A and B are shown apart, each in its own frame.
Chain A
Amino acid sequence: MRRMLDLIYTSALVASAGALVTIAVLVFAQIGGRILDRFLLAMGREVVGFQVPSLAEIGGFLFVGAAFLALPATLRAAGHVRVTMLAQALPGAAARAVTIIVLAAGLGLAAFAAWHSGVQAQDSWAFNSVSFGMVRVPLWIPQGVMTLGLILFAVALADELVAALRGATPAFREAEAARSIDDGGH
């Protein structure tokens, strides 16, 4: 179970990184097209006018994918920002209780977010909503990826909550502790 969950979080992170690399490759191709045209123009030849169709829209979709798919891994790496003053000030048992409350609240909100993101993707599917630019992209695809990211986020929060309820230290608490030692924060 543990290995499977970790595999899921890592796969989502790899997909997120893949989206970032795709953005870089597409944009670089677009810039390369302009450089080629400059070169051809300087040689007195006709320009090719190469461009990545709908680059701006597709870039936006890829950014959505990259951001939402990294949610679980970011949570576990303590990448998400929160105020840790109380957690640090309280004695062990009370701090654990607060961690459980925070994880439960986060899980509830993530479930809310995932549910309504799913409804939105389903509506876009039912409405046949499509993008506006040159390439006709059905909106349920990027919205579906967004929903998947939020579902995995909820799973990761549930995972951490179960760990905390069992009396273990959730991964994000470990990462927070490790970071504050590294940086000599306290």
Chain B
Amino acid sequence: MDLFTLSLILVAVLFVCLALGLWVGFSLIAVGLVAMTLATPAPVGAVFGTKAWAALNIWDLTALPMFIWMGEILFRSRLSSDLFTGLAPFTRRLPGGLLHVNIMGCALFAAVSGSSAATTATVGRMSLPELKARGYDDKMAIGTLAGSGTFGFLIPPSIILIVYGAATEQSIARLFLAGVLPGLMLAAMFGGYTMFWAWRNRHLMPPPEPPAPWREKIRAAALLLPTVGLIVAVIGSIYGGLASPTEAAVVGVVGALAISGLSGGLDRKGAWDSLRGAAVTTCMIAFILVGAAFLTGAMGYTGIPRSLAAWIGDQGFSQYALLAALLVFFIVLGFFLDGISIVVLTVSVILPMVLAAGIDPIWFGVFLVLVVEMSQITPPVGFNLFVLQSITGKGIFTIARYAAPFFFLLVAATVILTLFPQIALWLPSTMSAR
């Protein structure tokens, strides 16, 4: 069977499974099964066992349940409402108000966490109920979160950049530095869009409150102290050399337990509920990771991503045309595969043509992260969508619609980055001076 027909069949199988309401993890497994049965003599069951095992037997993944657990504890303590009460007087005058908490919260949290699912789950668990209680528009509350959750990959540390760096022999230290300014730029773009949206849609915003006197601001700032302390402790443990980025998640858990224990907000039931919530959310993400890993393995056997990438390579595109073609290619793959799978499956074919076109490999790492971020919020397979569905109960297509403006902002960011590559390359270039 030719790869084109095979691809069509697989896309059809995926859509039928998902539309029927088969769980996402199972749907991915089903597509992998069909792909391997049709295209390779390799033993499909044994491949499934190996890929499922290898998908989760990963040390870095342990940070995921720890951060989710931290979020569950904070959500059950007074800390999350304190955070919002504390920020309210400062963001009151800003168009968009507390919606900026999503963006700034994710940017801050991304400096701690390497994954976008953990960032979305942790910040979302705290912020969405508070935004809802304060009368913010669901569409924007969820959309900003879906978009900003993807900072987890761009602002260091970043799982994607570690995977890319390991596969392509690029310096992970430089890649991390390269992600900083684009990450801040993206946060500014998201913030700017939110202000613009709030200015255009004043009727959808909760009624503005009177400006806060400085006395109230000080009282509010005091409410922020525990949260700020927690963030400082987690980031400080990494930069102080006390914990690796993976281990730092546990600093967050212990800190959250300590704070909510001291403030008396966490009883036995709350403690168990937070742990149960962490186990369930972790399991949900892990099960999809299993399906995605098996499908990735199946795709490796079929050779579809390789052939597609090689086809692009054969077109003899100029630099900009190549990047445009790759952007489209990654967006299309990103609908169906998760970000890490895309990088793993295609980088070995794509990097040589990227280098041949004279594109800087460090810059290309940042470009890849941006397209991977897009894949997190495009249906039917996008991890931020899954996390937000489990928090809000809204369907993934609805959430994807809310997130659409941020998808386009991500596309705009890749264009800006292409025109001004120094945004990514300036910081790493300062490293060569030593």
Enumerate chain A interface residues (CB-CB to B < 8 A): 13, 16-17, 20-21, 23-24, 27-28, 30-31, 34-35, 38, 55-57, 59-64, 66-68, 70-71, 73-74, 77, 79-87, 98-99, 101-102, 105-106, 109-110, 112-113, 115-117, 119-120, 142-143, 146, 176, 179-180, 182-183, 185
CB < 8 Å: which of A30, A31, A73, A117 contacts B52?
A: A117
Q: Is B413 an interface residue (CB 8 A)?
A: no
Q: Are B278 and A20 in contact (CB under 8 A)?
A: yes
Q: Which 3 A-B pairs rank lowest in CB-CB distance, beginning with the nearest?
A: A67-B286, A70-B283, A120-B49
CB < 8 Å: which of B19, B49, B65, B287 contacts A63?
A: B65
| Contact partners of B288 in chain A: CB under 8 A | 81
Alpha-carbon distance between A112 and B386 when the two chains are bound, in angstroms: 24
Given contacts A20-B278, A120-B50, A179-B393, 18 further A-B contacts (CB under 8 A): A13-B276, A17-B279, A20-B66, A23-B250, A27-B66, A55-B59, A57-B59, A62-B62, A64-B57, A68-B283, A80-B283, A81-B23, A85-B21, A86-B21, A98-B21, A101-B20, A117-B53, A185-B393
| Contact partners of B52 in chain A: CB under 8 A | 113, 117, 146
Q: Are B242 and A31 in contact (CB under 8 A)?
A: yes
Chain B residue at minimal CB-CB distance from A65: B56
| Contact A67 to B56, CB < 8 A, known contacts A30-B247, A60-B61, A120-B46 | yes
Chain B residue at minimal CB-CB distance from A23: B62
Interface size on B, residues (CB 8 A): 63
CB < 8 Å: which of A59, A82, A176 contacts B24?
A: A82
Q: Is B395 an interface residue (CB 8 A)?
A: yes
| Contact A67 to B393, CB < 8 A, known contacts A24-B66, A106-B22 | no
Q: Are B250 and A27 in contact (CB under 8 A)?
A: yes
Alpha-carbon distance between A165 and B58 when the two chains are bound, in angstroms: 39
Chain B residue at minimal CB-CB distance from A33: B242
| Contact partners of A17 in chain B: CB under 8 A | 272, 275-276, 278-279
* Between-chain CB contacts (< 8 Å), 17 pairs: A21-B275, A23-B250, A27-B243, A60-B61, A63-B57, A64-B57, A66-B279, A71-B287, A81-B23, A81-B288, A82-B23, A83-B395, A98-B20, A102-B21, A105-B17, A115-B45, A146-B53
Q: Is B390 an interface residue (CB 8 A)?
A: yes
Q: Are A83 and B380 in contact (CB under 8 A)?
A: yes
Q: Is B104 an interface residue (CB 8 A)?
A: no
Q: Is B397 an interface residue (CB 8 A)?
A: yes
Chain B residue at minimal CB-CB distance from A76: B280
| Contact partners of A70 in chain B: CB under 8 A | 279-280, 282-283
Chain B residue at minimal CB-CB distance from A34: B242
| Contact A24 to B25, CB < 8 A, known contacts A117-B52, A119-B45 | no
B180-207 interface mask toward A, CB cutoff 8 Å, 1 = contact, 0 = none? 0000000000000000000000000000
Q: Are B283 and A16 in contact (CB under 8 A)?
A: yes
| Contact A13 to B279, CB < 8 A, known contacts A74-B287, A119-B49 | yes
| Shortest beta-carbon distance from A98 to chain B in Å | 6
| Shortest beta-carbon distance from A120 to chain B in Å | 4
Q: Is B223 an interface residue (CB 8 A)?
A: no
CB < 8 Å: which of B26, B53, B386 contacts A109?
A: B26
Question: In chain B, residues 245-298, which have Cβ atoms closer than 8 Å to a Cβ of chain A?
Answer: 246-247, 249-251, 253-254, 272, 275-276, 278-284, 286-288
Tell me the dominant secondary structure on chain B's binding face. Answer: helix
| Contact partners of B249 in chain A: CB under 8 A | 27
| Shortest beta-carbon distance from A55 to chain B in Å | 8
| Contact partners of B396 in chain A: CB under 8 A | 81, 83
CB < 8 Å: which of A79, A83, A115 contacts B281?
A: A79
CB < 8 Å: which of A81, A84, A85, A116 contacts B390?
A: A81
Q: Is B69 an interface residue (CB 8 A)?
A: yes
| Contact partners of A99 in chain B: CB under 8 A | 21
Chain B residue at minimal CB-CB distance from A172: B23
| Contact A79 to B21, CB < 8 A, known contacts A31-B237, A64-B56, A179-B393 | no
Q: Is B394 an interface residue (CB 8 A)?
A: yes
Q: Are B393 and A119 in contact (CB under 8 A)?
A: no
Alpha-carbon distance between A106 and B246 when the two chains are bound, in angstroms: 33
Alpha-carbon distance between A119 and B66 when the two chains are bound, in angstroms: 31
| Contact partners of A59 in chain B: CB under 8 A | 59, 62, 246
Question: In chain B, residues 393-408, which have Cβ atoms closer than 8 Å to a Cβ of chain A?
Answer: 393-397
| Contact partners of A143 in chain B: CB under 8 A | 53
Q: Are A63 and B61 in contact (CB under 8 A)?
A: yes
